[in-house]
A and B are shown apart, each in its own frame.
Chain A
Amino acid sequence: MTTELDLKHYISIIRKRIWIVALVVVLGTAAAGVISYMLIKPVYQAYTKLIVNSPNIKAGMLQLDLNAINTNISLINTYKEIIRTPAIMDLVVQKHPEFGVTTEELMQKITFSSVNGTQVVTLTYTDHDYKKAANIVNAISEVFQEQIPQIMMVDNVYLLHMAKVEKMPSPVKPNPKVNMAISFVLCFLLGIGIILLLDYFDDTIKTEADVERALGLPTLGAVPSIKQGDLKRKRRKSTISAKAGEASHVSN
């Protein structure tokens, strides 16, 4: 069988059972929609921005030094680890017992990221409650800023931007539209997969080609299912005087 015929064969298989694809897609997308809109608790994200910048110790040295910047960028990696240690988080928990969070929880939910090559770092905290997330991330940032001079013996962390508690952003997840789109694509593929699988496991003999392949015998005839409608036109012709193939001339 050539590739082209193969493809045609598969397309015809899929077309015959296209309703399976439609069903799976509709059900899957609807399920994704229902789950994203109703079942999943929305997650909010609050963030603060910090800049790591060493003060110029030498007087009169006003212009920025590339070396100093690079040092700061390297420091960011160190801070990334420091912020995940109990040294910072224990203090946050002690200072703010009203949050009702544990050190482990904080360490798990905080992310510390920096855009490559810049001195700005973003502290992000995710929670189901935006206000709580904003308050926590602000508290962490403040504690972090306070603690760094003690830990590193250098005061070079400045808060650029605090999370606003009053603001009500849209949740970062779930994103129902994206979820439904992904579900649509996946269900489409799944539907086609199901059809091909059904065809693979369907070992009935459907066509003359199947007969030839399975039995190696010629097909002498193929008759579709006889429905009641086929029998209806009752022109009783018990005595046909036509030869093979000429029946049509006689009965008309």
Chain B
Amino acid sequence: MSQTEARPIITDLNPMSPISEAYRTLRTNLQFASVDRTLQLLMVTSASPREGKTTTINNLAVAYAQSEKSVILVDADLRKPTAHQTYNLSNRCGLTNVLTGQAAAADAIKETQISHLSVLPSGLIPPNPSELLGSRKMDQLLEELRSRFDIVLIDTPPVLAVSDAQVMATRCDGVLLVVNARSVKRQQAVKARDALQFVQANIVGVMLNQTSSRDVGAYYEYSQ
């Protein structure tokens, strides 16, 4: 599975690509998505695996970082963590270590080669991820991150697979639901939405991934 390899982030490698522009559009839309409160703690999830959650969150993180906001990407996908590989970081000390009290948040947060972008890798995979994510310690950690960074992006497992996403959704300002235009069935997407709304999560919107490129429209090329 390609999930285990480091994946390139297009907004970093090729900022002029129409696809990078699409991510910047997403960033802009997110800034205007909620009027009342700022979306400082944003969670990204999807109905099923391999819909493009992690790709989206990585690109969104870089897009935010490019607008000179201090961004932290929290890899809360404790089932299949990938952030440490993507950014070439050590995973020996990460989110789980902070949650179990073995390390301080400051030690676990790592700077990346991309300026303004920090990453909190998953740490070692625990046997009880849902309990860890729902712990009091998590609330404290999120508060701390809130005070230190402009934007906190949280990567989570798929909604329909495990309850982690629901647990996290209650703690976030907003949830971005990634929908894969090729693979996800309508019922799955609806189920995922219902699961998130059931826990009173604030779903700010949908990120449509892997649309057929013809639908994108030529005006994205405008920037080139």
Contact = CB atoms under 8 A, between A and B. Distances in A.
Instruction: Check if A and B associate.
Output: yes
Interface of A: 203-208, 210-211, 214-215, 217-226, 230-245, 247-248, 251
A247 B213 contact: no
A205 B26 contact: no
17 contacts: A203-B187, A205-B186, A207-B211, A210-B186, A211-B206, A215-B193, A215-B206, A220-B33, A221-B26, A222-B207, A225-B212, A237-B15, A238-B12, A238-B114, A244-B67, A247-B66, A251-B15
Given A204-B184, A207-B211, A223-B209, 20 more contacts: A204-B180, A206-B181, A214-B186, A218-B205, A218-B206, A222-B181, A222-B211, A222-B215, A222-B216, A223-B22, A223-B26, A223-B52, A223-B210, A224-B213, A224-B216, A231-B8, A231-B17, A235-B15, A245-B28, A247-B16
B15 A247 contact: yes
A207 B209 CA distance: 10
B12 A237 contact: yes
Nearest to B25: A221
Given A222-B215, A244-B24, A233 B207 contact: no
Contacts of A219: 205-208
B195 interface: no
A217 B205 CA distance: 5
Contacts of B68: 241, 243
A240 B206 contact: no
Nearest to B65: A240
Nearest to A218: B205
B2 interface: no
Contacts of B14: 230-235
A204 B186 contact: yes
A206 B177 CA distance: 15
Contacts of A223: 19, 22-23, 26, 52, 56, 59, 207-211
A140 B115 CA distance: 102
B137 interface: no
Interface of B: 8, 10, 12-17, 19, 22-30, 33, 52, 55-56, 59, 66-68, 113-115, 176-177, 179-187, 189-190, 193, 203-213, 215-216, 223-224
Contacts, number: 153
A215 B84 CA distance: 33
Contacts of B216: 222, 224
Contact of B206 (A217, A225, A235, A236): A217
A204 B19 contact: no
A210 B190 CA distance: 12
Contacts of B213: 224-225
Nearest to B115: A239
B181 to A, nearest CB: 5
B185 A203 contact: yes
A205 B215 CA distance: 13
Contacts of B183: 204
B33 A218 contact: yes
Given A233-B14, A238-B115, A243-B68, A215 B22 contact: no
Contacts of B26: 220-221, 223
Contacts of A237: 12, 15
